[in-house]
Every structure is written in C-alpha cells, then in structure tokens.
Amino acid sequence: MKLDTADRDILRLLQTNSQLTMKELSEQVNLSITPIHERIRKLEKSGHIDRYVALLNRKKMGKALLVYCNVTLDKQRRESFEEFNEAVKRMPEVMECCVVSGNFDYLLKVVAEDMEDYNNFYQQNLSVLQSVQHISSFFVMSEIKSTTQLPV
C-alpha cells in the first residue's frame, strides 16, 4: 500500500495526539470527515497504525533511573539466544532489547526506581540467567530526547 501526502499528514498528526477528532484532522489535512475516516480505517487495517496507547511520565511513575546495558551471551550453548530472548520478554523492567552488531550481543534499555532497585534486578533477574556471560551497564545521566514519532 502506497501512502500519499494526506495519509502522511494524518499519521504525523496521530503520532503526536491520537485523540484529535475527525473534525480537527479534517481541518488540518484539508479533507472532509468522510475521507479522513476512511483513510484512518485503511491505515489501521494495513498495519501502518499499530496501536493507540497512553504514554506515561516515567519519573512520575517512580522510575527515575534509566539504564542501557550491553549483554554478552555464552555462545557455547546453542539454546542461549532463545532462552535469553524469552526471559527478557517476561521482564517488565526491560523496555527495549535487541541484537546488535559489534563486540557485544544485546543492547537493553531498562527502567528502575533507583540504584538499589536496579541492583536487585541485575542480581536477581539478569545475571542469574545461565545464558549470560557478561553485562556492562551504562547509566543515563540526562535524557535529551525520547519520542515514539517515526519520521513520516
């Protein structure tokens, strides 16, 4: 499915505020309500729009500490990767996890209340995994930018 300018405009707007009314969207996109409605329906069905969510304020939710960590797995064990992937999916503290090129295997983004909370997570959840060989943590001192908006 190919997107035109109007589709892109709609996506750009919904990425910043999903509660805009059809009327507000129609004014900003220069289309009447009917086509706006139809286009959104198609964008949802095609999967361009994945879901609608509420974004919470991390600090207000008591997760003041943000940590990125590099994890190296024990590559001798063939099951290591599957094991680690599944474990990470079940950890609510881990918000992002991916396999990266370079000299470590995984990059994780982890939230915690404070250093003590992170230490508990580290000791009790992360380092206990059989598949984990090495972990190094990078603590976020200042968050310059954090957005869910993809360039459209």
30 interacts with a second copy by CB under 8 A: no
Q: Say how many Å lie between the first and final Cα of the chain, rounded.
A: 15
Contacts of a second copy in 60-79 (CB under 8 A): 60-61, 63, 66, 68
From the CB of residue 36, how many other CB atoms can be counted at a distance below 10 Å? 23
Note the residues at the interface with DNA (CB under 7 A).
6, 21-23, 30-35, 37-41
Please give the Cα distance from 57 to 59 (Å, whole number).
6
Give 41 or 134: the residue with its C-beta nearer to DNA: 41
* 141 binds a second copy per the rule CB under 8 A: yes
Q: Does the protein bind a second copy through residue 138 (CB under 8 A)?
A: yes
Q: Which stretch binds a second copy (CB under 8 A): 23-31, 72-80, 97-105, 123-131?
A: 97-105
Instruction: Sort 143 into a burial class: Cβ within 10 Å, 0-12 / 13-18 / 19+.
Output: exposed
69, 138 Cβ separation under 8 angstroms = yes
Q: How far is the CB of 34 from a second copy (least distance, A)?
A: 20
